[in-house]
């Protein structure tokens, strides 16, 4: 496994992978740092009951690399990182474990800045702040800002396809109504969209019904004929089979790593389904926590401008996909175009106007 890890790190350009275990608190954690070339690596910490250490490690690696692309897509000068804690948050998460993890992050001396993710709440981050300087998302819940960014990504996708960004009367199917999906559903309903949602949590579905969303069983959400399919749960939900069966014109959601494979992205492109690359469209929360980490208090007008810039970056990638397809004589998916777009910015050192950055110390 160690030789495989080194090979993976070399192939994908990882700087560091740190494994931490504390017997007293029963903490088992992995932090993957993809790059600190532009500044500290930033990324949330996820607590999940992984079936093996191998799965926990792979999750940290894939999400950290995706965070590098997300930082580029958000126009912020941080690198990508990710923390994972192995365990069931409902049973295994204790104050002692959270303190141990916070002290572990502190020992990295600013190479990695982290905050909430699946299984780690804003309340947890507030508690860990007592023991660690390198936490963000303390005073502001990034979920609503992520939803706001996805909403603007949907508007940009509509504008690219139809020349009109309004979502009024459009049918959006949302898979997963946690904090981000719920807020996105609310925003869409308020803006005149018809919204259908699915989730394993019945209470969340009842909440969605209360503000006008329709609800279906989880397995039915893929079969909904709609304008936009919005994955807002865990990643990897669009495999080749799903890509062939979706009945929509646009895919735009908040989940990370939505495509199971590059092949799934190509299938969507060949079917004329416009895919809004996840690491660009879901960057609203990242932009928010980066602002909070650097400036402390958010300037709402500046933050709104930066999040609305997600739409401009999407349009740029959509056009690049179209141009590359013409130049190469083959279908270049928007996912592939987004990767090339991000790599070019990584090589050239380009950044957008926000210029949010802090070197670790």
Q: What is the pLDDT of residue 96?
A: 97
Per the prediction, the chain carries an average pLDDT of 91
The residue-averaged pLDDT of 54-61 equals: 92
Crossing angle of the two packed helices 284-295 and 53-74, in degrees rounded to 10: 80
The residue-averaged pLDDT of 314-329 equals: 96
For the annotated catalytic residues, the residue numbers are 82
Q: Which domain holds residue 61?
A: 2-138
Q: What is the pLDDT of residue 271?
A: 96
115 with 158, same domain?
Answer: no
Instruction: Compute the distance between CA of residue 254 and CA of residue 312 in angstroms, rounded to an integer.
Output: 17
336: CATH: 3.40.50.720
CB of 150 closer than 8 Å to CB of 230: yes
- Higher pLDDT residue, 172 or 348? 172
> Looking at the domain assignment, is residue 209 inside a domain?
yes
Name the nearest CA neighbour of 311 among 344, 336, 346, 287. Answer: 287
Q: What is the pLDDT of residue 349?
A: 61
pLDDT digit string, tens, across residues 178-203: 999 999 999 999 999 999 999 999 99
- % of the chain exceeding 70 in pLDDT: 95
Instruction: Compute the distance between CA of residue 214 and CA of residue 199 in angstroms, rounded to an integer.
Output: 12
200 with 337, same domain?
Answer: yes
109 with 210, same domain?
Answer: no
330 with 227, same domain?
Answer: yes
pLDDT digit string, tens, across residues 300-314: 888 888 999 999 999
Strands 112-113 and 27-33: unpaired
> Looking at the domain assignment, is residue 354 inside a domain?
no
Instruction: Compute the distance between CA of residue 16 and CA of residue 82 in angstroms, rounded to an integer.
Output: 11
Position 360 pLDDT exceeds 50: no
108 with 86, same domain?
Answer: yes
> Looking at the domain assignment, is residue 334 inside a domain?
yes
């Amino acid at each position: 496994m160690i030789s495989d890890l080194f090979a993976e790190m070399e192939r994908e350009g990882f700087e560091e992978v740190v494994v931490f275990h504390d017997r007293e608190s029963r903490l088992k954690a992995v932090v993957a740092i993809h790059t600190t070339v532009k500044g500290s690596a930033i990324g949330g910490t996820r607590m999940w009951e992984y079936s093996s250490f191998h799965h926990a490690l792979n999750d940290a690696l894939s999400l950290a690399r995706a965070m590098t692309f997300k930082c580029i897509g958000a126009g912020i000068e941080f690198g990508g990182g990710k923390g994972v804690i192995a365990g069931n948050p409902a049973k295994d998460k204790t104050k002692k474990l959270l303190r141990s993890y916070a002290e572990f992050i502190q020992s990295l001396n600013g190479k990695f800045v982290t905050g909430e993710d699946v299984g780690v709440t804003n309340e947890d981050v507030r508690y860990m702040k007592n023991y660690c300087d390198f936490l963000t998302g303390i005073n502001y819940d990034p979920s609503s800002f992520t939803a706001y960014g996805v909403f603007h990504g949907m508007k940009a996708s509509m504008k690219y396809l139809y020349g009109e960004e309004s979502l009024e009367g459009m049918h959006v199917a949302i898979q997963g109504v946690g904090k981000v999906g719920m807020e996105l559903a609310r925003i869409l309903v308020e803006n005149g969209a018809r919204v259908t949602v699915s989730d394993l949590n019945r209470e969340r579905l009842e909440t969605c019904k209360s503000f006008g969303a329709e609800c279906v069983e989880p397995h039915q959400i893929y079969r909904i004929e709609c304008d936009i399919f919005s994955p807002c749960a865990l990643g990897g939900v669009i495999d080749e089979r799903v890509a062939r069966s979706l009945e929509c014109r646009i895919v735009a959601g908040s989940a990370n790593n939505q495509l199971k494979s590059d092949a799934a992205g190509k299938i969507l492109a060949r079917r004329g389904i416009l895919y809004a690359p996840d690491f660009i469209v879901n960057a609203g929360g990242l932009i928010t926590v980066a602002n909070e980490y650097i400036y402390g208090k958010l300037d709402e007008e500046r933050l709104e401008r930066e999040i609305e810039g997600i739409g401009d970056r999407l349009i740029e990638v959509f056009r690049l996909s179209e141009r590359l397809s013409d130049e190469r004589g083959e279908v270049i998916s928007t996912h592939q175009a987004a990767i090339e777009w991000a790599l070019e910015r990584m090589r050239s050192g380009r950044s957008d106007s926000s210029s949010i950055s802090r070197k670790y110390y």
